[in-house]
Structure formats: C-alpha cells, structure tokens
Structure 1
Amino acid sequence: MSKNDYRARVTRMLIRKAFTALLGEKPIQSITVKELCLKAGINRGTFYAHYMDIYDLLEKMEDEMTADFKKSLEPLLSTRDKELTPLNITTGVFQCLKDNADICTVTLGPYGDKEFAARLIQIGQEKCVETYTRYFEDATPRQIEYFYAFVSAGCIGVLEKWLAEGMAGSAQEIAALTEDIMMSGIGCLKGQGA
C-alpha cells in the first residue's frame, strides 16, 4: 500500500468517525460540511476530494455496509446444508452488524435512514425464505413470506434496542434471544423457550 493510499484511508476513517458522532446528535439535514471537517480535523478541500456532499458520504457508507453485509452472509446463504438454521442466519446477521457498529449507528439509529433498514431486509430474503421452507416443511409459501416479514421487522427492532444499549452482549447471545422469541413467541417470557 502506498503512502497516499494509507493517507486516503485514514482520512476517510476520520471523516466517517466524525460523521457518525454528529449523526448521533442530530439529523443529517442539520450537519454541515464545515462542522464535519472541524470535528474530523481536516479541511473542506480534503472532504470534497472524497465526497460530493454529506449525502454522498451517507450513501457511500451505506453501500459499504451493504457490500459487507452481503459478503458476510454469502457463506451462510449459499449453502444447501440442512444444518443451516434460523439461529445460524441470525448469528451471522448480528455479527456482521456488530462488526459494522459505527455504520449501523449512523444508518439505523434515531437520525438514520429507515429505507436502508428495508434494503438490508431484502438482501437475504430469497435465501432465508428458502431456508425457512426447509426448516418448516408443513408451512405454505404465504406463511413463510409472512414469517419472514415478521421476523425481519422484529430483528430490526432488536437491533435498534441492541444499538441503544451500546451493543452490550455478543452477537451470538442476541441471536439466541432472537431465535427463542421467533420460535417460542410469548412462551419465551414464561420460561417455555424452544
């Protein structure tokens, strides 16, 4: 890696870190390039060498997160293994999100982009539905689709709660809790987990 590549990478990291901090405080519409640069310790010309504006920065961060999300799920979702369970999928999802905690905070936090959450849900839908169909052999395709919609919305809610708590707990712990809720419903609160 050349010295310039390293500098560019460090600069982008500083910009993203400052952006994440600002987006935790206020909505994107209220963030200016000037205050972002001040917080990142760079000049505006440096910012514009990497991004067109604040929205371009957000879009590139979301694109990176989407690529990382797809990459981390690929081994799980490309397998035909009968041992692939909702827990394996959920653990993979939560681990990827924890590995990208700063970007998750930006995109899924209180001032984040709610459309981004919907895009994340769509990424694994086909393979998850395929896995659920194998796992729940007596379910109809319609039931599976509704189950996926319910579970994915619930996972977003769990993720938002996890983010609000500073991602305390491991991805596997949160995935196991999520699976218990998915498989047992309210019974998990009565100690009747799966």
Structure 2
Amino acid sequence: MMEERKIGRKTDLRVLKTQKAIKDAFKEMVMEMDASQITVKELSERAQIHRKTFYLHYTTIEALFEDIMKDLFQEYCRLIEQTAPDAPFDEVNRVFFTFMSRQEPYMERMVCAPSYRDFSDKLFMTMMIHNRSRYNPYANYSKEEQNVINTFLCLTSVNIYRQWVKDGKVLSLEDLIELTNRLFLHGISDVRHDL
C-alpha cells in the first residue's frame, strides 16, 4: 500500500513537471508569435518533450489554450466569490478590472492580441455565465434580452480593458474603474461635456 502511494506520487510529480514545461513553453511562444503560428512540433521542442508526450496531455493546441484560460477563469472565480452574490455592479466591475490589471504579460497578450481573441472572448463569456449563476439581476428579462445585456456587459468590459492596455495603461486603474462605473451605470450622457 505504501509502495503504491510512493509510485503514484512520483508519477504525479512527473506529470505536473511535464505540464509545467508545456505551459511554460506555450507562454514563451505566446509572447513571440500569433496563435496560428504555434505548433505542437515547436512547442514540444521548446518544452524538451516528445510530440507524443504532448498528446498524452492535450489532444490539440486549442485544448492547451483552453486549459490556460481555464486557469485564469478559476483565479477570477476565487476572487469574485469573495464578494456577495448580489454585490452592486460597481463592486463587480472593480473586481474585474483589478483582476485583469494583475495579469502576467503572456495573459495580457492572449486577451488583447487579435489572433487570440476567440479564445479570450469565450473565457469572458464563461466568466459572465459564472457571475449570473451566482446572481442574476436581469432575471425578469426574456432569455434573448438577457443575452443582449450580458453580451454588452461582457464584451464592452473586455474591449475597454484591451483599449486601456493599447493606450499603455496611462489612465490609472482607479480612474479606469471610476470612468467605467459611470459609463455602465449612467451611460454616455453622464460623461458628456456640454459646451
């Protein structure tokens, strides 16, 4: 019995070490190339594993993308679940932008670079679904109306984040959060300057 546990632990450590090598190589490649340029062959070479070993862990490069994004989603869930399910929008907005501002450069690129957007947009819609499963302030609307509301909130938030990154994060995080709260809660008329 003790022998089996030791063998199991060794195997688990080997698997974890290989997965880390794969993910580390992937993160390097994200910083250097577009999504379509990442191949199993090059990733395996960088991770110093055989291609067959890659396929023991992931069926495709897309599955690896999804696994990396799943890690981000789990981190976000841990953070958002520290707020009350019915927390006001401005608090949820603060959690989102604060969380995104702390991402490593490879994740920032995966969210912002055009070639990675399909993967990240799916992730953000999953985050929205998770938030709605905790509390849905739009439950009185039809399913179709909720889809429009949630798409607006989700994709607007992520696109504002992308613009903030593109602008070199010149606007402070606090100013970004305050401005987005005003825009989301009161609309463009709240920020318009009448001449």
Displacement of 1:4: 6.3
1:93 maps to 96
Identify if the C-alpha distance between structure 1 residues 16 and 173 changes in structure 2 by more than 3 Å, giving closer, same or farther.
Answer: farther
Deviations 1:66-85 (A, max 9, x none): 1111111101143x5xxx33
Q: Percent identity?
A: 14
Which residues in structure 2 correspond to 1:1-194 (within 5 Å)?
Answer: 11-12=21-22, 14-22=24-32, 25-28=33-36, 30-37=37-44, 41-45=46-50, 48=54, 50-78=57-85, 84-101=87-104, 102-107=106-111, 109-112=113-116, 113=118, 114-127=121-134, 129-130=136-137, 141-142=140-141, 145=146, 147-191=149-193
Q: Is the 8 A contact 2:111 2:162 kept in 1?
A: no
Identify if the C-alpha distance between structure 1 residues 190 and 93 changes in structure 2 by more than 3 Å, giving closer, same or farther.
Answer: same
- Of the structure 1 ranges 150-159 and 120-129, higher mean CA displacement relative to structure 2 is found in 120-129
Identify if the C-alpha distance between structure 1 residues 61 and 170 changes in structure 2 by more than 3 Å, giving closer, same or farther.
Answer: farther
Displacement of 1:183: 2.3
Displacement of 1:184: 2.8
Deviations 1:8-32 (A, max 9, x none): 576255223213214xx3233x321
Paired AA for residue 102 in structure 2: D
Displacement of 1:91: 0.9
TM-score, normalising length: structure 2: 0.68
- Of the structure 1 ranges 109-118 and 178-187, higher mean CA displacement relative to structure 2 is found in 109-118
Paired AA for residue 45 in structure 1: H
Displacement of 1:158: 0.7
Paired AA for residue 173 in structure 1: D
Deviations 1:97-133 (A, max 9, x none): 2233432431453112233332222221244533xx7
TM-score, normalising length: structure 1: 0.68
Identify if the C-alpha distance between structure 1 residues 125 and 53 changes in structure 2 by more than 3 Å, giving closer, same or farther.
Answer: same
Distance of 1:16 and 1:72 partners within structure 2? 25
Paired AA for residue 141 in structure 1: N
Distance of 1:15 and 1:121 partners within structure 2? 29
Larger radius of gyration: 2
Distance of 1:93 and 1:118 partners within structure 2? 13
Where 2:115 maps in the other structure, the secondary structure is: coil
Q: How many residues get paired?
A: 175
Distance of 2:41 and 2:157 partners within structure 1? 36
Deviations 1:36-74 (A, max 9, x none): 355xx4324287265444222101101111111111110
Where 1:95 maps in the other structure, the secondary structure is: helix
